[in-house]
Amino acid sequence: MTQKTGWLGASGREFCLCSLEKEDIEETLQLMDRCVGENLYQKEELEQAIGSSERAFLLLRTAEGELAGYIYYYLTNEKQIAEDTRLTEQKIQQVCQQDTLAPVGKIQSVGIKEAFRRQGLAVWLMKYALRQFAEKGIGEVFIICWNAGGKVPLERALQECRFVHLFSAKMIWYNKKELYCPYCKGRCKCDAEVYFKKVKERNYK
């Protein structure tokens, strides 16, 4: 289902949030390559998000139609989070109080085009996703973030959204041989940082 909503950014510029459509995929992949590394995401994964009831891939565009950013989030479970981070289920369960197969939210990726950064857009997108999870009754949300040489690009947005840092996960992208890491200048040897947030309906700040 196509979602559209308008928003006035901190700069006073108007933005529109809308669902990814098939004709948007190539442009979106180009932005993702710049934000998170070339070839981390493939066309097939984005196609799976179109029309899905459990996955949302939203684009942030200016009133003139320029792509300014995106957010990709979906429902998963603690067992899958453990697999994604190569951590044990027991370690993930330390912060969760539900069955390992019960649904949790995951913000998979957030990206903002260089010209639109430092305007609070990533925070707005993440809060929008948290609100959507809360409305679905999802109380726990994870995000696995890239640590580029000791720096987490999303750190300020994570603080604004009050995510809690849980663990570090070692070199989880190294086996993605097709991924070109802009920090490593080749195969990715970077670690990941796992963050977590409890959300409640109408109280997700």
Give the pLDDT confidence score for residue 2 in this predicted structure. 46
166 domain residue, yes or no: yes
Number of independent structural domains in the chain:
1
- pLDDT at site 193: 96
Q: Would you say residue 200 has pLDDT above 80?
A: no
C-alpha span between 28 and 20 (Å, rounded): 9
Confidence band for 95, pLDDT divided at 50, 70 and 90: confident
Instruction: In whole angstroms, give the CA distance from residue 78 to residue 100.
Output: 5
| Span between the terminal Cα atoms of the chain, in Å | 26
This prediction's pTM:
0.88
Residue 203 forms part of a structural domain: no
Res. 180: pLDDT tops 50? yes
**Tens-digit pLDDT profile for residues 40-69:** 999 999 999 998 988 999 999 998 999 999
Cα separation, 194 vs 165, in Å, equals 6
Q: What is the mean pLDDT of residues 194-202?
A: 82
Q: Is residue 33 part of a domain?
A: yes
136-139: long-range contacts (C-beta < 8 A, 24 or more apart)? 136/75, 137/201, 138/75, 138/103, 138/104, 138/105, 138/199, 139/198, 139/199, 139/200
CATH number of the structural domain spanning residue 51: 3.40.630.30
CB-CB contact of 198 with 96 (8 Å) = no
d(CA 71, CA 125): 7
Query: Which whole number is the average pLDDT over 23-34?
Result: 97
Q: State the pLDDT at residue 98.
A: 64
192 falls within a domain: yes
Rounded average pLDDT over 187-198? 95
> If you average pLDDT over every residue of the chain, what do you get?
89
What average pLDDT does range 114-137 have in this prediction?
94
Q: How far apart are CA 180 and CA 2, in angstroms?
A: 32
> Taking Cα atoms as reference points, which of 52, 35, 75, 30 lies closest to residue 157?
35
- Structural domain span for residue 26: 4-198
